[in-house]
Amino acid sequence: MQEIRWGIMGCGGIAHMFATSLQALERGTLLAGASRTPKRAAEFAKKYGMARVYTDYEALVADPDVDAVYIATTHNFHFENVRLCLENGKHVLCEKPFTVNAVQTEELIKLAGAKKLFMMEAVWTRFLPAIDKLRELLAGGAIGDVLTVRADFSLMGDFGAEHRLKNKALAGGALLDLGIYPITFAALVFDEPPIRIQSSVVLGDTGVDERSFCLFDYSNGRCAMLSSSFTHDAPTEAVVCGTKGHIRMPWFLGGSELIIHRHDEEPPEILKFPYGEGENFKFEITHAMDCIAEGKTESPILPLAETLVILQTMDALRAQWGLKYDGE
């Protein structure tokens, strides 16, 4: 297989997860990184043995030896960062959310198509072995006809007004950062966009959504109850409910376990899919490298049309809340 030489744009927290996961693989090289904070880039390079360090993104994408770029900047910069990579002939793996809104994503899809470059949103949940098994079980009727999904991703912390979760200028809020996971989970179970979206939201002092509660209706009477928050504590789990049982997935965004409850059968069946600590992203990285090596321009697991649908869904929610970001 072709050896993919990676560059990283932005050397903050999420970039460390990418670098650690890449190191766990037998192929793929972290060649270069760029940060507008020179000290951060230098420290990152030292920690991961990265050969080249740049203090501006233009220099990174001008490097002829970089094949693909992982974008690890804050949400508000994703659109311009992806566009810069594409315009300079680089394949792109961009951390979720792919952009702030669907209009931006549509423009990038057109540009990637014109450039014939691979482009994918980095939603690591979709590439986990446990998710592969879940979809196999559902397709095989393990719990009968699936009627309902419940999923929540909430966390608590001492987030100041400038933290990316609360900072509106950085496209902050629970939805784009946390809520995208429950929405993604419902999408991969039902494999279609919702036909009706209802929601309620609590907006904080900084103008972003602190917590939201959503009810999505799908065809044939199916529904999803989804929530996200950074102001209350709740179990991060997903439950898929069918006519013959239900499947629980603890910490579903990075889940390594499925608990299958079949009606009138005890005990439940437990399936485990472990992976190494800090290797969370290795499955999506492997998939991206396979696609690039095979000359594909998008992922068959997470096609660009699916990324667009998720952005359109989140746009619809923000429209209900009256939440707009700078420039929208």
Catalytically active residues, by annotation: 96
Contacts of 219 (CB under 8 A, 6+ apart): 192, 195
Give the CA-trace dihedral at 109, 91, 41, 36, to 10 degrees.
Answer: -40
**DSSP letters for 96-129:** SSSSSSHHHHHHHHHHHHHHT--EEEE-GGGG-H
Task: Identify which of 181, 228, 236 has the alpha carbon closest to the alpha carbon of residue 200.
Answer: 228
Cβ–Cβ < 8 Å for 69, 62 = no
Task: Identify which of 173, 132, 115, 125 has the alpha carbon closest to the alpha carbon of residue 151.
Answer: 125
Provide the 10 A C-beta neighbour count for residue 144.
Answer: 15
Query: Quick one: tokens of 217?
Result: 């209706």
User: Whole-angstrom Cα distance, residue 260 to residue 264?
Assistant: 12
Contacts of 264 (CB under 8 A, 6+ apart): none
Beta bridge partners of 150: 225, 239
User: Whole-angstrom Cα distance, residue 207 to residue 258?
Assistant: 37
